[in-house]
Amino acid sequence: MRNKISHVLIAALLFAGCSKNEINKTEPLILQKNITALRSDSVKGSITALAVQGTAEINASTVQQSIKGFGGANIVAWTGDLTSTQRSTAFSPTNGIGLSIVRVRVPNSSTEFSAEKATIDACKSYGGSAIASAWSAPASMKTNGSVVGGKIKTASYSAYAAHLSAFNSAVGGLAAISPTNEPDYQVNYESMELTAPEVADFVAAQGSNCGAPIMAPEPFQMNQTYINTYLSNATAKSKTSFVCGHIYGKTPYNLGNIGKPVWMTEHYTNSSISGEDWPNAMTAAKEIHDCMNAGWSAYVWWYIRRSYGPISESGNIQKLGYIMAHYARYVRPGYTKISCTSNPSTGVYVTAYKSGTKLVLVIINQNTAVTYQPFSYTGISVNGFNRYFTTSTTNLGSNSFAVSGGSFGINLSASSITTLVSY
């Protein structure tokens, strides 16, 4: 009898609050407290109720990693600089994507140092920060006398540290600097080939003299063995502020208790696919979720402006950019990730963040149908949410709704990303 009464209540609420067309418009259906899910039955043939879903449980009292931000690379020597308008598009959390990290290259020559400064300054002006990686030391400081391959001469450790420090000063200060980029990956372009102990030897000897906090060792696939070997040098570990790496061919994973914040500092999914491609953008959304769920604090795409990037070559925000905005605009530097059921329902993925009394949820729905998702929250007071949603046809659509009593539920549009920001 209780189940039958629940079905009647659900049907009544559906007919009173929305029509079939309203559900398809991605307006949120809010069901409070005692009604926790919709059944899969049809209601009088005119509305198809949605499948029962598990509750996404949020506990704001359980704090996890602090968020550094979400960003992308700007390498002036290789792609040219962003324009003033493109910088605003990339970094503004109000009118743009809201990227809060710009990653740049440390040039081999000091004559190129100032080229990166304008975009670094722009990112900082919107509350972001800059990080830098060195693809190679100057050729004169390397064992093979070339900027391709080779190693840093031990006798040049001090000179190389001074080179990195001079770049940091020239651009007005970095949040972190990496003395290497993918040192475990052999290529035929600007690079160095260094073992984990060799990177550790340099940082142990000169990590305090590089001008900015050290992020390292930046392997190609966030290789745990490489990272653990690097960190086994106690002096290098003490001089390393952030562990960083890339995830080419690697699914994000928890590195365990390494005692350092983890930053994902470079990846792109497919350079042959446009940043406007919706399935590829949704793949990136899940990848960002996985990085955050793995306990990492930063996610940095490869080029900011590229055919496959968040901004097109003509400077327009692409679907990938709108996906990134769902994180970057609303989860700002210094927010903390909090406990949340990461995969409460088939095809639904959730991460939760807070800053003071503000709660932010980022929700991915991979399902090809509208999906009802219930939530519960503890450890924080919420009156309602501003809701932002992006689908294959909508970019950052918005509306708002009130909540009370520690639980609510919403309809998630098919194949969508949604961000809820409490008010």
Structure tokens at 162: 């001074």
Judged against a pLDDT cut of 50, whether residue 96 lies above it is answered with yes
Fold of 69-333: TIM Barrel (3.20.20)
Q: Which of 182, 193, 218, 287 is catalytic?
A: 182
Q: Which of 116, 198, 218, 266 is catalytic?
A: 266
For the chain, the distance separating the N- and C-terminal CA atoms, rounded to the nearest angstrom, is: 38
For the domain spanning 2-62+337-422, the CATH number is 2.60.40.1180
Q: What pTM did the predictor assign? A: 0.89
Cβ neighbours, 10 Å, residue 154: 11
Q: Are 282 and 415 in contact (CB under 8 A)?
A: yes
The C-alpha atoms of residue 418 and residue 344 are separated, in whole angstroms, by 15
**Helix, strand, coil abundance in the chain, percent, nearest 5:** 30, 30, 45
Instruction: Tell me whether residue 198 is one of the annotated catalytic residues.
Output: no
Look at the block and give the residue holding tokens 């600089």: 81
Judged against a pLDDT cut of 50, whether residue 45 lies above it is answered with no
Please tell me the number of Cα atoms within 13 Å of 213 on its side-chain side.
16
Residue 53: per-residue pLDDT: 66
Instruction: Tell me whether residue 266 is one of the annotated catalytic residues.
Output: yes
The C-alpha atoms of residue 368 and residue 258 are separated, in whole angstroms, by 39
Judged against a pLDDT cut of 60, whether residue 39 lies above it is answered with no
- Going from N- to C-terminal start, the domains of the chain cover 2-62+337-422, 69-333
The C-alpha atoms of residue 256 and residue 254 are separated, in whole angstroms, by 5
Q: Tens of pLDDT along 256-279?
A: 999 999 999 999 999 999 999 999
Look at the block and give the residue holding tokens 């690079």: 191
| Phi and psi angles of residue 323, each rounded to the nearest 5 degrees, phi first | -60, -50
DSSP 51: P
Q: Report, in angstroms and rounded to the nearest whole number, the Rg of the chain calculated over CA atoms.
A: 24
